[in-house]
Structure 1
Amino acid sequence: MKKYILFLIISFVSSCSSDDFKSDLKKESKIVVEGWIEQNDFAQVLLSSSIPITDVIDSTNVLNHVIRSAKITVSDGVTSEVLRVKNDKNRIPPFVYYGSVLKGEEGKQYSLKIEYLNRIVQAQTTIPKTVPLQSAAYIKKNVTDTTGYVFIQFDDPKNEKNYYQVATKIEGKEPIFVPAFYGNLDDKNFKSQSVSVQVNRGVLLFPKTKFQPYFVDGNLIYVKLRTQNKEALDFWNSWQNEIVNSKNPIYPSNTSLKSNIKGGLGIWAGYGQSTLSIQTPAKK
């Protein structure tokens, strides 16, 4: 399996304006978190220290900033568990903190506490109600094409406020679900309760091949519709804006990414989730 990275949190490479450039160089590095817990799944957390703006950013340097010896506790207010760090060779960075006791449940609140050296980092999130995917299809512009796009359909619940994220994973090629480009949705922009969306492939960091926004024949594609909170929507939108503005998702422009982490940077998010699979036609 090819090694990819969605370690978006290294986007916090001391994001700053030019006026603050020199002062930011002198600041102590910050703990950066990318953590989530989905409905009916265990928590996962990626942990690093922020990368100085003067450093070269590549896969080797990223590994040098990974934090592997923190104590991470997740709690639903009744049950608590300390996450265990595992080496996942299919991911970059390969060190991920996993839960094995608490499974995410709709409507529950989950707290995150990170203890590392003399620092404590905390956050809270709630898992929103899941909205089921109705259908997912792989559609080509022309029958003879070997590429196409994924289209999904779902019903946005009436009289409920919802925020969504669409993510995809290609079996055997991507070890994780990758947020789709322009896949963060606010239901205030929907024209009707029945929603149809084109899904564009998300941006991967350190890919083996050139980025392509479409999908190709011969792949098994998993499509996930996540419900998320406003804090997560704001975070992912700000991350996406960095890609659009600077054309480099690991080197943000002049504004910091949104964060709900107290004492650090990044995101701790709860997601409802509904997943469908699509088998594309065999390669000719």
Structure 2
Amino acid sequence: MKKYILFLFVLIAVSCSKDDFSEQSIESKIVVEGWIEEGDYAQVLLSSSIPVTDVIDSTNVLNHVIRSAKITVSDGLNSEVLRVRNDKNRVPPFVYYGTKLIGEAGKEYSIKIEYLNRVVQAVTTIPKSVNINNAEYIKKNPSDTTGYIFVKFDDPVNEKNYYQIATKIDGEEPIFVPAFYGNLDDKNFTESAMSIQINRGVLLFPKTKFTPYFADGDLIYVKLRTQNKDALDFWNSWQNEIVNSRNPIYPANTSLKSNINGGIGIWAGYGQSTFIVKTPEKIKPI
């Protein structure tokens, strides 16, 4: 069974540089990766930060997972305490998930995490979804066995929007992975009708060698998320750590952006639209 972990988890976990480690990491921090999408329930991954002096591998990551916190999500009128389940397709394999509150566009959602003597909180809203008009798998040459995805959508006029494009390869990736350079601010758009090439996002501990493109035989789920400015800032800072660090396991000289009070990470609300792309059948060698 294939297991993956987003670079996000480790990058947050070692979110201060080696230079400022002695000042900022006397006590481990609670690390949050949480989200609630329109039409879906909340999900949260929770851990404690990993010192930069530690060896970072799948075993050490598991040692820092938090499985006994109380996580409450509320929309202001209703609330629920998330449950923990074991998802063997993920590393870390423990996910807090909701079963009652379904994300709705325009609503505000708060999260409260209680663990030992600590309380961590954050608030987010879910923006309106923007539909994908089309997504295509395109090769530079017909004889190629790899290609890229081009996503087409219409950015609403006279509305401020921030986007994230994520992909998931069926049978190979258990979660949607943010595409590399897939975080978008519509202030940079020159027209409403958008066509954007996207590359695969970066994963840690992949079973196969990472490549930035897609391949024949892939069944690809493409998701267009609308997000808030704090989520855009977080994901851009996450991306910058990968770009600027020779070893992306250790971030560069700045910490990741965060909207978590009392911890680090992200609690985000997303609008979402999903499109399925089927690539040509992979030709088996004779």
Query: TM class by shorter-chain length?
Result: over 0.9
**Letter in structure 2 aligned against 1:104:** G
Separation in structure 2 between the aligned mates of residue 221 and residue 75 of structure 1, nearest angstrom: 33
Quick check: 1:10–1:32 contact (8 Å CA) kept in 2?
Answer: no
Asked if 1:244 is matched to 2:239, the reply is: no
Asked if 1:172 is matched to 2:171, the reply is: yes
Q: Which runs of 5+ in 1 are unaligned?
A: none
Corresponding residue of 2:150: 151
Separation in structure 1 between the aligned mates of residue 34 and residue 247 of structure 2, nearest angstrom: 22
**Letter in structure 2 aligned against 1:6:** L
Any residues of structure 2 matched to 1:264-275 within 5 Å, and which? Answer: 264-275=263-274
Asked if 1:3 is matched to 2:14, the reply is: no
Q: Which runs of 5+ in 2 are unaligned?
A: none
Corresponding residue of 1:261: 260
What is the Cα deviation at residue 250 of structure 1? 3.2
Separation in structure 1 between the aligned mates of residue 131 and residue 248 of structure 2, nearest angstrom: 30
Q: Encode CA deviations 1:52-100: one digit per residue, 9 max, x unaligned.
A: 1100001000000000000000000111000000000000000000101
Corresponding residue of 1:12: 12
Note the aligned Cα RMSD (angstroms).
Answer: 1.2
What is the Cα deviation at residue 209 of structure 1? 1.4
Q: Encode CA deviations 1:81-128: one digit per residue, 9 max, x unaligned.
A: 000000000000000001010010000000000000000000000000
**Letter in structure 2 aligned against 1:40:** G
Quick check: 1:39–1:273 contact (8 Å CA) kept in 2?
Answer: yes
Separation in structure 1 between the aligned mates of residue 199 and residue 14 of structure 2, nearest angstrom: 29
Q: Encode CA deviations 1:196-242: one digit per residue, 9 max, x unaligned.
A: 00010000111111110000001110000000000000000000000
Q: Percent identity?
A: 77
Asked if 1:126 is matched to 2:125, the reply is: yes
Quick check: 1:166–1:225 contact (8 Å CA) kept in 2?
Answer: yes
Quick check: 1:239–1:249 contact (8 Å CA) kept in 2?
Answer: no
Quick check: 2:38–2:103 contact (8 Å CA) kept in 1?
Answer: yes
Matched positions, count = 283
TM-score normalised to structure 1 length: 0.97
Separation in structure 2 between the aligned mates of residue 109 and residue 250 of structure 1, nearest angstrom: 33
Quick check: 1:246–1:253 contact (8 Å CA) kept in 2?
Answer: yes
Quick check: 2:7–2:202 contact (8 Å CA) kept in 1?
Answer: no
**Letter in structure 1 aligned against 2:98:** G
